Structure formats: structure tokens, C-alpha cells
Structure 1
Amino acid sequence: MKQVYSDIIEFRGSHYELGKRQGQKFKNSIMMKNREKEWRKRKPRFVIDIKETKQAFQTYAPQIWEELIGLQEALQWPIEKILQNFSGYRLDYVRSGCSIFTGKDYFVRNYDYNPKTYDGRLVLFQPTDGGLATIAPSSRVTGRMDGMNEKGLVMGYNFMHRKKPGVGFVCNMIGRMVLENCETVEDAIHFLQEIPHRHSFSYTVFDKKGETFVVEATPRGVKVRMSNLCTNHFELLTEENRYHLDDSYRRMEIMEKDQGEITHPMEAFHLLNDPEKGVFSKEYHNWSGTIHTAIYFPKQRKMGFALGSVKQPEIFDFENWLKGETINKNQIDGELDTDLPFAQMEEH
């Protein structure tokens, strides 16, 4: 078992100031060294078009472009390198797992991936220059893999495939934009129908009304359905599905079978977080091991978070944080059943 942690980042200010603060923190860090090694092994397949990328951000999230400029100033990198590392536009994304289960007043999500690429940062951000406040684990610094905003909108995404990529944003940046731009599931659906998608993912959105929608999105089209469960296959865009979906169907069947017995949100949390239940995964070497389980309560504006398998998640009161309170700890501790390194903890 490996002892791991996620830093808790609290920031109130502009996107530019957040970018600059993050750049100052990451300069010469283990995470940045690992990122450099990653790019030496995996060359980008195209030349970054600065004008095109800036225009895309100006259309959908101009404040996040200012965050990229803040990162550039702190890291003193060329803008092309900043965009390659942090923009989430026209980049490639490695396959992953993930499972989502929602009830009347809660949203539970397993994030299944490889620890070598995991940021290890839970970010609470209250912008002063536009956009909604959010609580969310970060991905690639500027992206968000799941999360909740101040209006109680919750979002999580599930990988489908990387076939025939398009000109657009990758999942973690799209997730960030949804949380900062949208107040309701209707807003989120409209946004996901408009924004260009680089790869094929399902985005599950949930709000205070208790309705759950799964938005099946590819570079070629977007379809929407109501469902409280999501794993790693499309149910409407079936022609887009991968060939090997046995594990996705298996996890879906477990959740479908057990959901009728769940009477409390923590029972749903343990359905996804307990390895003996069958949804939690230890396939870290296959890019689909469960790194965190998060549970969101939109009406209360609270979040529970756990690294690895635990008895109870850490609970964060986002409602009180929005009123000016601070979190009384700096990190979340956990352990994973793997020998793979965490991106921010050790070089790999």
C-alpha cells in the first residue's frame, strides 16, 4: 500500500492571480519535472496554433485564458509550452475508467486513472473577475475532473474513446468550463451541445432539483438522456462504442442491481468505494484504478472526498467556505494498493 495525499488549495481572487500563484508553486516542482519527462516520451502530433487556441478560450471561457497568462508569467515559459501543458485544447487524453451513481439529493463518483498523472489537488476557487465559485479536484492544473459550483451544479465525466479526435477541448477543461459557466443542468446541457469536443466522453450533470442527465458527446455529435448511472459506454451513440466493454457493463450491472437496497447516501458512497462491492478498481497499471471517490450534496453544498478505499470520506462545507470560512487542514491523506508514483510526490 502506498501512502498518498492531495493538497487542499483555497483561493479567492482573479483567474490571472490564480494562474500566477499556481505557477509560482509549481516552478521547479516534482510535478513539473514529471510533466517534462512525459512530453519527451510523447511528442504532440500538431503545432500549437496560438491564435486559434486564444479565440476558442475567448468564445467559451475568456477568464481561463487569463489564468494561462498568469501561469506563463510565473513559470517564464513560451506561450506555446503553456498551451501544450495547460490549455486542454487539441491535446490527447489517455483512456481511463470511472463510475457515477446519483440519488435524490447526492452524486457519487469514482475517478479511475493512473496515479502517475494525478494532480493531487482539491481546489476551492472563488473568482472575483467572473465565473462561478467551485470545489473540485484538479486535472492538469487548470482542468477539473468532477466538482460542484456555488449554485449546486455537479459534474463528472466518463471516458469513452479517443477514435477520430476533433478540433476542440479535452474533458478536464470542458468540465472546468461547465462548472464555472453553468447554473443548472439545462445550462450545462446547452453548453455541452455548443462547445467543440476533442474526444468522446459522457458528462453527467446533476443539480438541486435532483434530476440527472448524461450527455454523450463526441466530435461528431451530442445526445442527451436521463439516467442516474454511468460507466464507460454510450447507450445512445452506440456506433461510437469501443469493442472491449465487459468491465463497463459489469460495473453498471452491479450498480443497477444494488441501487434498490440503498436508503442512505453513505451506502451509495460505500457501493463505489468498497473494493469488495465490485465497482472500486485496483487496475492502476491499466489506467483504470480508483484514485478518489467523491460525493456531492447540492442542496447542502457539501462535498465528501476520499483517496483510495476508506470507511468515511472527509466532508467539506462549501456553503460555509463561500461565506468566508477557511478549511482547517492543508491536505487529505489516503492510501492506494499500487507501487506506481503519485505525480506530485515522487519523480517517475
Structure 2
Amino acid sequence: MGSRESWAAWDSWSSGTGTASPPTDSARSFTLVGIREEQPGPRWQALFSATWPAYRAWYLQDGEDARPDLATARAQLTRHMPELVPTWEAMVALAGDDDVAARMLTLWDAPGFAPGCSQAAQVGGDPVMVRNYDYSPDLFEWVVYSSKFARRKVIGTSDCLWGLLDGMNDDGLVISLTHGGRQSSGPGFAIPLVVRYLLEVAGTVEEAGAALDRLPVAASYNLTMMDATGAVVTAFVSPGNEPEYTDSAVATNHRGRVPERPEHARALRSVERQDHLLALLEEPTERALLTAAFLRAPLHSQRYAQGFGTLYTAAYRPRVQQLTYSWPGTSFTRTFDSPDDSITVSLQEG
């Protein structure tokens, strides 16, 4: 998010599995770390220690007065996400009761960010949600976290230390986000914590929608949601407005079918990617072939220097409770109970 520095060098806490390499022939290596920790503990604390200087700089980029005070931030978390308050309190303690960390971890009125992304949900006997996350590799945590903060096991791609860019719970609910293209911002929660919260409290698409209806969000996003029954909806959320729900199984970086900001959508090839996904889902497509399509243009991007490169392709299979990350030539599979592990990948600038 924002202007964070790179923290891909995890050797202070990641079992010594490798670090980010300097650019060589337009390629750089990064290590995705898989963590299994039901409650915030030593692994989360190490993640915090490794990333906090960059997160603090990001959070205070507009000055400390631009961010809410602790009483306000805590009150909003308590009001809207009471089920997460005990976990937040545990994280604050692990962070040394630092005031700025406590405020940032509520993710209430935090600075915004606008990643790319493409996602598609395919129903059938083995439902799958496949997504690409397109952003700068230096502004990514490189962590997949498996936890049980509240009543459900949750696994997903970490952001903002406990939020999620995409994830799945053990009831089979899967949620993935893309930026919605609208520039508006307002009082609300950063979307990674919204994804986390929905997966903690909801087991179905219907339950997630009911929870989402009462949550204020800080910026515009598309949330594609699928559950183990095969139900799929995409919700467009924006500050100060009720969510808009459609039965679309795909989302890129604009609202609905017609972009509100055509030039922005054109720069990101958002409509082209959306049309490609819709065409893929028109005919029965094997799960492996759908995932493979996300590893090729127009869905896959190598524009890393421009902050719009595909950092990973994730495929969530709710009925078998499995998550697989893919890159050209390699993959990394996780379940709720997978032990700590990692994989090092090379990203080639296009």
C-alpha cells in the first residue's frame, strides 16, 4: 500500500529461506512466506517488526494529524467489527502498545491504495476462484497467513499486517478484491480489513452480504464472493454508498460493464481483461486451463516498474479447502493446516 519500501528480505524471521535479489537482466526474486499461526504470536510479531518502519511511514505520510486518534479508531473498530477487537488488542500488545501502531491496525481512515487485479469465479462440481494481484512487488508483504482469530479458520494473502487481499474460510466462503476505479474516498475501513472481517463472521455469500451492508469503506472496490454451494456475487463498494450487488462472476478495475473513468480503464486494459474473463466463462473450462489463462496476457502483466505487474495468481478451491499460488513454471499450495513454508519466485520485467 501507499509508498511503503520493500521488505522482501525476511531472513530475520522466515527460517532463512532467501531474500529479495537486486535486479539482474530485468528479473528480481522474491520469497512468499507461508505462516500458520492460529492466534497472533511470535510469527506475527516478527512480521510486525520487519515491516513496521515502512508501514509507519506509509500511515503517517500525510502527517500524524491526518490520521484518527486512538480513541476514535478504537471506537470505530469496536462499533463495526467487535468480533475482531480481542485480536486487535493482542496485536497491539505484541507491538509494544505503540500508539501509532494501535491506530494503524484498526485500519480506520488509513491512506488509500489502488492495485490492479483480475478475478473470476467458476462454479460446478469443484468451484474455484482464480485471481491475479497486480501491483508493485516492493509494496507487497509476500505473506500467506493461516489463522483462527475468531470462530473460523481463515487463509489468505496478507496485507496491512492482518488484512487480506483475498482469502477463504473453512465454511468455504472465498472473497477477493479489485480496485473499483472510482477516485472517491471517505471515512471508513481499508478494504483488506473488510475482507478479513467478512471471512471471520460469515459462512456464506448471503451472510457476507448482510455484514458488508453495515460496514463503512474508505474507497471503491469490487468484492467477488463465492461459497461452497457455488453461489457467486460481485459487490461494488464505495464511501458513503450502499453496496451494489450483481451476479457477475468476474471483476477487473472498473464498476460494472461501462467504466466511469474510461481513460483510467484504458490505461489498465480493464475492459479488455473483463471481456476476456467473460469469454473464458461462457464455455465450460477445466479448472487448470482457467488458472493457466491467468498466467498469460491479457490477464498477466509484467509491468512491475510501473506498479502494475502480476505478483501472483491464486486459485481457491472451497470444497477441498485448498489454495494454490501460481507463477509461470512453478506453484505453491497451502491448506489451513499446512506447516510454515516458503517459495522463492522470479519476476521478469516485460
Q: For residues 36 and 56 of structure 1, do their structure 2 counterparts lie closer, same or farther at Cα, with a shift above 3 Å needed? A: closer
Give the deviation of 1:45 after TM superposition: 6.3
What is the number of equivalent residue pairs in this alignment? Answer: 318
TM-score (norm 1): 0.83
1:138 equivalenced with 2:155 (yes/no):
no
| Whole-angstrom CA distance in 1 between matches of 2:163 and 2:68 | 18
Letter matched to residue 235 of structure 1: G
| Whole-angstrom CA distance in 1 between matches of 2:262 and 2:329 | 34
Partner residue in 1 for 2:272: 250
Q: For residues 298 and 28 of structure 1, do their structure 2 counterparts lie closer, same or farther at Cα, with a shift above 3 Å needed? A: closer
Q: For residues 64 and 239 of structure 1, do their structure 2 counterparts lie closer, same or farther at Cα, with a shift above 3 Å needed? A: same
Q: For residues 87 and 296 of structure 1, do their structure 2 counterparts lie closer, same or farther at Cα, with a shift above 3 Å needed? A: same
Partner residue in 2 for 1:4: 30
Letter matched to residue 58 of structure 1: T
CA RMSD, 1 decimal: 2.4
Partner residue in 2 for 1:343: none
Preserved CA contact (<8 Å) 1:95 1:287 = no
Partner residue in 2 for 1:88: 107
Give the deviation of 1:41 after TM superposition: 5.0
User: In the TM superposition, what are the counterparts of 1:253-292 in structure 2 within 5 Å?
Assistant: 253-260=275-282, 263-274=285-296, 277-292=297-312
Partner residue in 2 for 1:122: 144
Offset from partner CA, 1:125-158 (integer Å, 9 cap, x none): 023xx33210101001110100100100000011
1:51 equivalenced with 2:71 (yes/no):
yes
1:206 equivalenced with 2:241 (yes/no):
no
1:225 equivalenced with 2:243 (yes/no):
no
Unpaired segments ≥5 residues, structure 1:
340-348
Preserved CA contact (<8 Å) 2:67 2:110 = no
Q: For residues 87 and 40 of structure 1, do their structure 2 counterparts lie closer, same or farther at Cα, with a shift above 3 Å needed? A: closer
Letter matched to residue 328 of structure 2: V
Letter matched to residue 238 of structure 2: T
Q: For residues 28 and 88 of structure 1, do their structure 2 counterparts lie closer, same or farther at Cα, with a shift above 3 Å needed? A: closer
Tell me which moved more, 214-223 or 32-41. Answer: 32-41
Partner residue in 2 for 1:21: 42
1:101 equivalenced with 2:145 (yes/no):
no
Letter matched to residue 45 of structure 2: Q
1:235 equivalenced with 2:256 (yes/no):
yes
Q: For residues 167 and 4 of structure 1, do their structure 2 counterparts lie closer, same or farther at Cα, with a shift above 3 Å needed? A: same
| Whole-angstrom CA distance in 2 between matches of 1:37 and 1:50 | 17
Partner residue in 2 for 1:333: 344
Question: What secondary structure is seen at the aligned counterpart in 1 of 2:68?
Answer: coil
User: In the TM superposition, what are the counterparts of 1:175-186 in structure 2 within 5 Å?
Assistant: 175-186=195-206
- % same residue: 20
Tell me which moved more, 198-207 or 65-74. Answer: 65-74
Preserved CA contact (<8 Å) 1:23 1:72 = no
| Whole-angstrom CA distance in 2 between matches of 1:193 and 1:241 | 25
Q: For residues 147 and 270 of structure 1, do their structure 2 counterparts lie closer, same or farther at Cα, with a shift above 3 Å needed? A: same
Preserved CA contact (<8 Å) 2:181 2:265 = no
| Whole-angstrom CA distance in 1 between matches of 2:100 and 2:165 | 24
Preserved CA contact (<8 Å) 2:68 2:108 = no
Q: For residues 39 and 188 of structure 1, do their structure 2 counterparts lie closer, same or farther at Cα, with a shift above 3 Å needed? A: closer
| Whole-angstrom CA distance in 2 between matches of 1:67 and 1:304 | 27
Letter matched to residue 229 of structure 1: V
| Whole-angstrom CA distance in 2 between matches of 1:124 and 1:314 | 14
TM-score (norm 2): 0.83
Q: For residues 143 and 330 of structure 1, do their structure 2 counterparts lie closer, same or farther at Cα, with a shift above 3 Å needed? A: same
More helix by share: 1
Unpaired segments ≥5 residues, structure 2:
1-26
Tell me which moved more, 97-106 or 40-49. Answer: 40-49
| Whole-angstrom CA distance in 2 between matches of 1:228 and 1:5 | 31
| Whole-angstrom CA distance in 1 between matches of 2:200 and 2:282 | 34
Partner residue in 2 for 1:111: 133
| Whole-angstrom CA distance in 2 between matches of 1:27 and 1:316 | 22
Preserved CA contact (<8 Å) 1:89 1:168 = yes
Give the deviation of 1:171 after TM superposition: 0.9
Question: What secondary structure is seen at the aligned counterpart in 2 of 1:224?
Answer: strand
From 314, 319, 339, the equivalent of 1:294 is: 314
Offset from partner CA, 1:23-68 (integer Å, 9 cap, x none): 5314652x23333454575535624232222222223333433333
Preserved CA contact (<8 Å) 2:156 2:164 = yes
Letter matched to residue 3 of structure 1: S
